[in-house]
Amino acid sequence: MSTQALYNQIKNELKANWMPSLESEALIVSSEKIENEQAWSKVATFEPTKGWIQTLDSVKRVADFNATQEQDIILSAEMMNENGQTLHIRPANRGDLTFTTYDSSGDKEFFYTETSHQIKLGKQIGTATYRLYWPQNSEDSQPRQPQFSRFIGFKFKEEK
């Protein structure tokens, strides 16, 4: 029996609705270092449709900014485009940024669970949903921490 099937069987036998379902997905994960001066053009090329971005001045939803007109320095971001790709932007060294892209058209299988967190952006209250990923083929049976997480989307109370 596969790990995924066993996990979900145990969850069902225990009637443990509080346990998240264990699913699988094939991903390609790629990272590159970008100078901050190139960041907005890279964000515009990605064409995000949902997510958030933190600059020196503010934290904004993707719907509230125009990447081709922004000038402020990017500190961090998590966004998704229409193709289901996710882009995470994190600080690197000496003012550079690390752009990590998660693409679900990959060939390396990962287990994942979904989790949601309450958030507040400005006056809007809602949830942000993430997937937590673990490698499927591990060399030993030791418990593992998630290898990475990926932004999936927002749901705000005003979006009923």
What CA–CA distance (Å, rounded) separates 139 from 137? 7
Is residue 106 classed exposed, middle or buried when 0-12, 13-18 and 19+ CB atoms within 10 A define those classes? middle
User: In this predicted model, what pLDDT tens digit does every residue of 29-72 receive, in sequence order?
Assistant: 999 999 988 999 999 999 999 999 999 988 888 888 787 777 88
Give the per-residue pLDDT at 140: 60
pLDDT < 70: residue spans in the chain? 137-143, 158-160
Q: Are 74 and 53 a contacting pair, CB within 8 Å? A: yes
Give the per-residue pLDDT at 139: 64
